[in-house]
Amino acid sequence: MSDAAISRAVHPWWASRRLGFLAAALVIAALPMMLTGNYWQTNLTICAINVLLALGLDFILGYAGQLNLGQSAFYGLGAYVSTLLITRLGVPFWAAFAAGVAFAGLAGMILATFAVRLRGHYLAIASLGFAVITYQILLNWINLTQGPLGIYAIPPPPAITIPGLPAISFRNPVALFYLVAGVTLLVYFILDQLVRSPIGETLTAIREDEVSAASLGINTALWKVFAFGVGAAVGGAAGCFYATFVGTLVPDAFFITESFTILAMVIVGGMGTLIGPVFGAVLLTLLPEVLRGVGDLRLMVYGAVLTLVVLFMPGGLVQAARVVGARLGLSR
Amino acid sequence: MTATIVAQQAINGIVLGSLYVLVALGLTLIYGVLVQINFAHADFVTLGAFAAYFVMHALGGQYLLGIVAALLVGAALGWAINITVFAPLRRKGNELLPLIATIGVSVMLQNAMLAWFGPVPYAFETPYSQKVFRVAGTFFTLQSVIIIAVSATTIALLYAFMKFTFLGKALRAVAQDRETAGLMGINPNTLIMLTIVISSALAGMGGAMLAPVLVLTPFAGASVIVKAFAIVIIGGFGNVEGTILAGLLVGLIESFTTQYLDPGLIDIVVFGLLLLMLAFRPTGLISERREENV
């Protein structure tokens, strides 16, 4: 048998993984054509932003095992830092985007450095405290953020001009969806590489048993800071896109309940997998839209679903799919 | 003049702080026996407040009966969350799942209340808020006297219960070492149930007395609970004396921040203190065992 054949036999998933990314790219390309109209295209972009948020939290919670209730803060920091750089200082969009992502990631690392000795519940409360402080700062630092009045008329990303082709303007909602979804797919790819590398194994070792991991010579503090940095930066990217997509910013979009919503997406999808939170985010974004009748009870549905999933199917949709797959005799 | 203002704010701070103590003690007691956090504790506070409001109005201004109703509602909610969430998840033995499940319960309860009671604040005027005493230039209402008296009595009773009764000693034994306590013939399940019911009753009662001080909306409890979290961490999780001290401290910080800085900064000051405590003294004001979470 050739090396390649052995490799294929040992890693049969490699081939299908590439196929999976190709299929995902095709689905993303096809979605705006199948679901036309402003209403659906708006929802598609919100789905993509929420997937990004859920992926960031899942990296911290599902892989490193750290319960981060501060994702709303990183989301808000990414949104406000990038927007203020664009509207106040006239910084170009992509530079402001990079700054927003970097700022959120750095904030995550600083919080983790503070909280790195803490585990489980203490970390949950420290991160919740961070989210409360961030929200209050956004609300009260009126000279900078305009507080509850909000920031208006945030421009879309600048048009991309490729010589010989018509310019791609992001005032077009479909183009903006392709941009956000494309970046989300890229983030998924990077995270997928990360979690299947030795780094991913290190993080899961910390999640399963921090003391044993430390006794094997793993610098657990360093890796937790790393996981927080990556997850928070991804949350920050979602914030940048949110600001430019919605066009207005108010602190209430980043209240601590947003952290719980993102948590529900990760748990419902299946934490500790990357594909789970993608479906969790899409499901919980579209579910209230499908159930238009419940109206204001949107968040009540989130809460109920979150509790029921933890109680009866803690592996989320991924676990449900495996159970169904096993029943149908599809799994290995 | 300044001395009067300081005295006045000290009184306000202690009134508020003693209510925070009631709410935070519940969290700390549950953490002591179960090593879990009940996120829905906040909503038990709010539901207690609404129970007191409706009972008081139904009975023509019987505020004290409203407090009793809130206590019973809290106890019932505690019983319910134990049999639906904590007991089934304890068998699975994951440390984060119960916390996440109670976040779900909290989101659900808050939005159910929003649908039921609406977002408009309820004016909770008790017959005692009108009666004002004046002592040496400071004001306080009969309401605040009742708050101090009820919370001080409750805290003293709880303390005596924990220290001197067999059940209280058994409770502390479970908190120290659940398995060994089980070997000594103590049924940990019963005691965990008892602790959650007592803690939730405290939350409901705290809500009944907080509501006239705060704005009564479906989110009233949520604004209190974030401070209660700060209090239990500043006081040291599972540490009753530390929680009482920290609760009063946070009440005082709140009233003096309102006076000398800006009410919008309260959360920032309290949580700044929380993060500093976590960074430099994570065992709390009064150090005890319990190093395992640090």
Closest residue by Cα to residue B206 from B42, B37, B8: B42
CB contact under 8 A, A303 and B109: yes
What pLDDT, on a 0 to 100 scale, did the predictor assign at position A11?
A: 53
Q: With the C-alpha atoms ordered B114, B118, B123, B125, is the resulting torsion angle positive or negative?
A: negative
CB contact under 8 A, B264 and A310: no
Q: Quick count: other Cβ atoms within 10 Å of Cβ B247?
A: 31
Do residue A145 and residue A172 come from a single domain? yes
Q: Is pLDDT larger for residue A172 or for residue A262?
A: A262
Please work out, in degrees rounded to the nearest 5, the angle formed at the alpha carbon of residue B153 by the alpha carbons of B152 and B159. 90
CB contact under 8 A, B108 and A307: yes
Q: What is the pLDDT of residues A157-201, one digit of tens each?
A: 877 777 777 777 777 778 888 889 989 999 999 998 898 888 888
Do residue A17 and residue A147 come from a single domain? no
Do residue A3 and residue A51 come from a single domain? no
What pLDDT, on a 0 to 100 scale, did the predictor assign at position A50?
A: 94
Do residue A141 and residue A58 come from a single domain? yes
Place of tokens 């019973």: B72
Instruction: Report the residue from A119, A300, A310 with minimal CB separation from B111.
Output: A300
Instruction: Report the residue from A65, A140, A307 with minimal CB separation from B105.
Output: A307
Q: Is residue B11 within 8 Å of B140, Cβ to Cβ? A: yes
Question: What's the whole-number mean pLDDT along residues A191-217?
Answer: 85
How close A224 comes to chain B (CA, Å)?
A: 15
Chain B residues closer than 8 Å to A122 by CB = 233, 237, 278, 282, 293-294
CA atoms of A127 and A108, how far apart (whole Å): 9
CA atoms of A110 and A157, how far apart (whole Å): 29
Do residue A108 and residue A13 come from a single domain? no
ipTM of the complex: 0.82
Instruction: Report the residue from A114, A133, A264 with minimal CB separation from B268.
Output: A133
> Which domain covers residue A216, as residue numbers?
42-255
CA atoms of A238 and A57, how far apart (whole Å): 12
Of A235, A255, A275, which residue is a domain's last? A255
Question: Any CB–CB contact under 8 A between A294 and chain B?
Answer: no
Whether residue A267 is contained in a domain is answered as no
Whether residue A264 is contained in a domain is answered as no
Of A229, A255, A281, which residue is a domain's last? A255
The average confidence (pLDDT) of chain B is: 83
Instruction: Report the residue from A118, A119, A307 with minimal CB separation from B104.
Output: A307
Q: Is the pLDDT of residue B287 over 70?
A: no
Closest residue by Cα to residue B192 from B33, B32, B24, B25: B33
CA atoms of B56 and B144, how far apart (whole Å): 17
What pLDDT, on a 0 to 100 scale, did the predictor assign at position B290?
A: 47
Whether residue A314 is contained in a domain is answered as no
Residue in chain A lying closest to B36 (CA): A121
Q: What is the pLDDT of residues B170-197, one digit of tens each?
A: 877 777 777 777 777 777 788 888 889 9
Q: Is the pLDDT of residue B127 over 60?
A: yes
Q: What is the pLDDT of residues B90-101, one digit of tens each?
A: 877 777 888 889
Q: Is the pLDDT of residue B243 over 60?
A: yes
Whether residue A299 is contained in a domain is answered as no
Whether residue A70 is contained in a domain is answered as yes
Question: What's the whole-number mean pLDDT along residues A120-148?
Answer: 85
Q: How confident is the model at residue B293 (pLDDT cuts 50, 70, 90)?
A: very low
Q: Is the pLDDT of residue B138 over 70?
A: yes
Chain B residues closer than 8 Å to A298 by CB = 111
Do residue A147 and residue A220 come from a single domain? yes
Q: Is the pLDDT of residue A314 over 50?
A: yes
Do residue A5 and residue A114 come from a single domain? no
Whether residue A332 is contained in a domain is answered as no
Beta bridge mates, A111: none
DSSP state, A44? H
Q: How confident is the model at residue B131 (pLDDT cuts 50, 70, 90)?
A: confident
Residue in chain B lying closest to A118 (CA): B294
Q: What percentage of chain A has pLDDT greater than the value 90?
A: 27
Do residue A88 and residue A176 come from a single domain? yes
DSSP state, A64? S
Do residue A161 and residue A198 come from a single domain? yes
Do residue A83 and residue A118 come from a single domain? yes
Q: What percentage of chain B has pLDDT greater than the value 70?
A: 95
Q: What percentage of chain B has pLDDT greater than the value 90?
A: 16
Chain A residues closer than 8 Å to B108 by CB = 300, 303-304, 307
How close B207 comes to chain A (CA, Å)?
A: 21
Chain B residues closer than 8 Å to A67 by CB = 96, 99-100
What pLDDT, on a 0 to 100 scale, did the predictor assign at position B196?
A: 92
Do residue A13 and residue A95 come from a single domain? no
Question: What's the whole-number mean pLDDT along residues B22-45?
Answer: 88
Q: What is the pLDDT of residues A64-82, one digit of tens each?
A: 888 899 999 999 999 999 9
Q: Is the pLDDT of residue A10 over 60?
A: no
Do residue A93 and residue A231 come from a single domain? yes
Q: How confident is the model at residue A12 (pLDDT cuts 50, 70, 90)?
A: low
CA atoms of B73 and B4, how far apart (whole Å): 39
How close A195 comes to chain B (CA, Å)?
A: 21
CA atoms of B199 and B194, how far apart (whole Å): 8
Q: Tell me, what amino acid is at A116?
A: V
Instruction: Report the residue from B111, B271, B279 with minimal CB separation from A132.
Output: B271
Q: Is residue B230 within 8 Å of B242, Cβ to Cβ? A: no
Q: How confident is the model at residue A278 (pLDDT cuts 50, 70, 90)?
A: very high
Instruction: Report the residue from B37, B88, B108 with minimal CB separation from A303.
Output: B108
Q: Is pLDDT larger for residue B81 or for residue B280?
A: B81
Of A221, A255, A289, which residue is a domain's last? A255
What pLDDT, on a 0 to 100 scale, did the predictor assign at position A146?
A: 83
Residue A290, by phi and psi: left (phi above 0), alpha (psi -120 to 50) or beta? Answer: alpha
Whether residue A162 is contained in a domain is answered as yes
Chain B residues closer than 8 Å to A211 by CB = none
Q: What is the pLDDT of residues A20-64, one digit of tens each?
A: 788 888 888 778 777 777 777 788 889 999 999 999 999 999 898
How would you classify the pairing of strands B132-135 and B138-141?
Answer: antiparallel
- Among B30, B34, B43, B96, pick the best mutation site for testing chain A contact (most A Cβ within 10 A): B96
CB contact under 8 A, A303 and B264: no
CB contact under 8 A, A132 and B95: no
What pLDDT, on a 0 to 100 scale, did the predictor assign at position A119?
A: 63
The rounded Cα B245 to chain-centroid distance in angstroms is 13
What pLDDT, on a 0 to 100 scale, did the predictor assign at position A7?
A: 52
Q: Is pLDDT larger for residue A55 or for residue A212?
A: A55
Whether residue A187 is contained in a domain is answered as yes
Please work out, in degrees rounded to the nearest 5, the angle formed at the alpha carbon of residue A59 by the alpha carbons of A56 and A65. 130
Q: Is the pLDDT of residue B292 over 50?
A: no
How many domains does one find in chain A? Answer: 2
Question: Any CB–CB contact under 8 A between A187 and chain B?
Answer: no
What pLDDT, on a 0 to 100 scale, did the predictor assign at position B190?
A: 83
Residue in chain B lying closest to A66 (CA): B96
CB contact under 8 A, B89 and A119: no
